[in-house]
């Protein structure tokens, strides 16, 4: 396609949006809603996946020792732990260190607590080499005399995996259903445009315009509508992401991992949504115009 034709076709496509502004606006609004819902589902899924992998990456377990254990026994127990093949490193963390940390964290709140006794136990922070052997290693540690308990993050990981599975399934269907809805909306808009321009299409065909030439302005129109909707929805998602993330992080911080920061994903959201909008637009436009182009002469005009 020559440059002068391309610029003419692009101009025609963009002019169509203005000529059918009410329909274009309605399509953009509906598309934005669909894309925001779809985007929210994707972002939730991505964050949950990130949380799970965060837990997986955090290959450290806390081994709680018996309250009555002396420091010497604790050191001996440490050497026992180190002997286990899958243990990479283990660090002693006494109950005095733990209470000091709490004191710093809680501040004035700590001062209001009553009693002098330290309720916390001595802990070994054990780093594992291979997480796939997690269960076996934990059971070996548990067998060592003097070990009271081992913090088991497997439960949290399992719960989150279930949640992720659920979010993925729901997200998948949301993407599919809303994808079909958006395609339907965009192809209807294009059908409306084509109907309003049926006269021009019939003339174009009668003077020998190729189907590609007739098709391009409509596809440009659909892609532009998709792009506008994609940009609006990505900006909206970027705007609401941080407030939602901040609130979610307050709860998620309890398990020591965090969600994905906006700075890591805003570019992806913008690119992804704009791209999705353009793609849906192109596809919707292509489907509707291809069906229409099979008509000839009077059929186009409905005579």
Partner 1 sequence: MIHLKNVSKVYSNGTEALKNVSLDIEQGEFVFIVGSSGAGKSTFLKLLIHEEKATFGKVTVNGYDLMKIKNRKVPYLRRTMGIVFQDFRLIEKMNVYDNIAFAMRAIGAPEKSIKKRVKYVIAVVGLEGKERCRPSELSGGEQQRVSLARALVNNPEMIIADEPTGNIDPKMSFEIMKRLVDINKKGTTVIIVTHEHDLVRAFGGRVITINGGEIIEDKIIPAEFDTTENSESEYTDILAAVDSQNTGQAEETTVSDHRKEEDE
Distance in Å, CB of 5 to partner 1, minimum = 4
For partner 1, give the closer residue by CB, 123 or 214.
214
Distance in Å, CB of 18 to partner 1, minimum = 13
For partner 1, give the closer residue by CB, 57 or 296.
296
Residue 1 sits in the site that holds partner 1 (CB under 8 A):
yes
Q: Which of 235, 233, 227 is nearest to 262 (CA)?
A: 235
In terms of Cβ atoms closer than 10 Å to its own Cβ (0-12, 13-18, 19+), residue 248 is middle
Residue 5 sits in the site that holds partner 1 (CB under 8 A):
yes
DSSP state of 84: S
The tokens describing 109, both together, are 């709140």
Distance in Å, CB of 261 to partner 1, minimum = 50
The answer to whether the CB of 142 falls within 8 A of the CB of 77 is no
**Among 95-103, 157-165, 194-202, 259-267, the segment contacting partner 1 (CB under 8 A):** 194-202
For partner 1, give the closer residue by CB, 221 or 277.
221
For partner 1, give the closer residue by CB, 278 or 300.
300
Residue 8 sits in the site that holds partner 1 (CB under 8 A):
yes
For partner 1, give the closer residue by CB, 25 or 203.
203
For partner 1, give the closer residue by CB, 243 or 298.
298
The answer to whether the CB of 75 falls within 8 A of the CB of 124 is no
Dist CA 155 CA 152 (whole Å) = 7
Residue 11 sits in the site that holds partner 1 (CB under 8 A):
no
**Among 3-11, 80-88, 100-108, 283-291, the segment contacting partner 1 (CB under 8 A):** 3-11
Residues 197-216 that bind partner 1 (CB under 8 A): 199-200, 202-211, 213-214
**Among 71-79, 159-167, 259-267, 290-298, the segment contacting partner 1 (CB under 8 A):** 290-298
For partner 1, give the closer residue by CB, 180 or 301.
301
Residues forming a β-bridge with 125: 62, 91
**Among 70-78, 181-189, 282-290, 293-301, the segment contacting partner 1 (CB under 8 A):** 293-301
CA geometry: angle 22, 11, 277, nearest 5 deg: 60
Q: Which of 246, 300, 255 is nearest to 159 (CA)?
A: 255
Residues 155-184 that bind partner 1 (CB under 8 A): none
Dist CA 133 CA 136 (whole Å) = 6
Q: In what order do the strands lie in the sheet with 60-65?
A: 87-93, 123-128, 60-65, 147-150
The answer to whether the CB of 17 falls within 8 A of the CB of 225 is yes
Dist CA 180 CA 284 (whole Å) = 10
Contact positions vs partner 1 (CB under 8 A): 1-2, 4-5, 8, 199-200, 202-211, 213-214, 296-298
């Amino acid at each position: 396609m020559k440059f002068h034709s391309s610029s003419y076709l692009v101009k025609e496509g963009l002019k169509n949006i203005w000529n059918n502004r009410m329909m274009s606006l309605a399509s953009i609004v509906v598309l934005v809603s669909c894309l925001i819902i779809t985007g929210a589902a994707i972002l939730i899924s991505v964050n949950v996946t990130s949380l799970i992998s965060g837990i997986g990456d955090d290959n450290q377990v806390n081994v709680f020792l018996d309250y009555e254990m002396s420091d010497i026994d604790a050191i001996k127990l440490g050497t026992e732990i180190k002997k286990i093949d899958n243990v990479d490193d283990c660090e002693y963390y006494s109950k005095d260190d733990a209470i000091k940390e709490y004191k710093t964290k809680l501040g004035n709140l700590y001062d209001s607590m009553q009693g002098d006794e330290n309720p916390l136990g001595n802990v070994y922070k054990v780093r594992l080499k291979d997480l796939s052997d997690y269960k076996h290693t934990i059971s070996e540690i548990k067998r060592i005399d003097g070990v009271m308990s081992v913090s088991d993050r497997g439960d949290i990981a399992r719960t989150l995996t279930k949640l992720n599975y659920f979010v993925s399934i729901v997200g998948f269907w949301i993407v599919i259903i809303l994808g079909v809805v958006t395609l339907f909306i965009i192809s209807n808009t294009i059908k409306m445009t084509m109907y309003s321009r049926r006269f021009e299409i019939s003339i174009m065909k009668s003077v020998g315009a190729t189907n590609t030439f007739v098709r391009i302005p409509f596809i440009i129109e659909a892609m532009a509508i998709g792009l506008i909707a994609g940009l609006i929805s990505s900006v909206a998602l970027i705007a609401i992401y941080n407030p939602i993330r901040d609130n979610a992080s307050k709860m998620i911080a309890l398990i020591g991992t965090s969600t994905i920061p906006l700075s890591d994903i805003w570019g992806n959201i913008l690119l992804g949504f704009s791209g999705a909008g353009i793609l849906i637009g192109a596809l919707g436009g292509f489907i509707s115009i291809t069906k229409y182009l099979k008509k000839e002469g009077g059929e186009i005009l409905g005579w």
